[in-house]
Structure 1
Amino acid sequence: MKKWVGLVSVSALLLAGCTFGDSTEQQLSEVLQQMHTAEEEYRSVQDPLNEAEQKEYALFEEVLALEQEQTDELTEKLEELSALVAERRDLLSTEKQSIDAALEASDFSTLDIPEENQSYVTQIDEAYDARYATYEQLYAEYEKLLALQENLYTEMAREDVAIDQIRDLVQQVNAQNEVVQTHVTAMNEQTEQFNQTTDEVFESLQNEE
Structure 2
Amino acid sequence: MNRIIIISLFSFILLLSGCSFGTSTESSLNDVLSKVYEDEEGYRTAQEQLSELEKNEQTSFKEMMELTQEQKEELSAKVSEMETSLEERLKLISAEEESINQAEETFKEIDGVIEQAEEEDVKGILQDMKAEMTERFSMHEEFIKQYEQLSELQRSLYAMLADNQTEMPALQNKVKEVNVQNDAVQKVIAQFNEHTKIFNDLKNEVYEKFNGEKNE
TM normalised by structure 2 equals: 0.89
Question: 1:152-167 alignment to 2 at 5 Å?
Answer: 152-167=157-172
Match of 1:70 in 2: 71
Pairwise CA distance, 1:10: 4.2
Moved more, 42-51 or 30-39: 42-51
CA distances 1:159-193 after superposition (whole Å, capped 9, x unpaired) = 32222111110111111112222222222221111
Q: 2:22·2:210 contact (CA, 8 Å) conserved in 1?
A: no
TM normalised by structure 1 equals: 0.92
Match of 1:53 in 2: 54
Pairwise CA distance, 1:201: 1.3
Match of 1:125 in 2: 130
CA distances 1:79-126 after superposition (whole Å, capped 9, x unpaired) = 111001101111111111111111011022344604435333312211
2:149 counterpart of 1:147: no
Pairwise CA distance, 1:47: 2.0
Report the Cα distance in structure 2 between the residues aligned to 1:38 and 1:47, rounded to whole angstroms. Answer: 16
Structure 1: segments with no counterpart, 5+ residues: none
Question: One-letter code of the match for 1:157?
Answer: A
Report the Cα distance in structure 1 between the residues aligned to 2:195 and 2:16, rounded to whole angstroms. Answer: 21
Pairwise CA distance, 1:5: 2.5
Pairwise CA distance, 1:25: 0.4
Match of 2:197 in 1: 192
- Name the SS of the counterpart of 2:14 in structure 1: helix
Aligned-pair identity (%): 33
2:210 counterpart of 1:205: yes
Match of 2:16 in 1: 16
Report the Cα distance in structure 2 between the residues aligned to 1:171 and 1:114, rounded to whole angstroms. Answer: 52
CA distances 1:19-75 after superposition (whole Å, capped 9, x unpaired) = 313010000110000000000111112221111001111101111111112112111
Question: 1:61-100 alignment to 2 at 5 Å?
Answer: 61-100=62-101
Question: One-letter code of the match for 1:95?
Answer: E
Q: 1:3·1:54 contact (CA, 8 Å) conserved in 2?
A: yes
Q: 1:13·1:36 contact (CA, 8 Å) conserved in 2?
A: no
- Name the SS of the counterpart of 2:116 in structure 1: coil
The alignment covers a number of residue pairs equal to: 209
RMSD: 1.7
2:111 counterpart of 1:109: yes
Q: 1:13·1:33 contact (CA, 8 Å) conserved in 2?
A: no
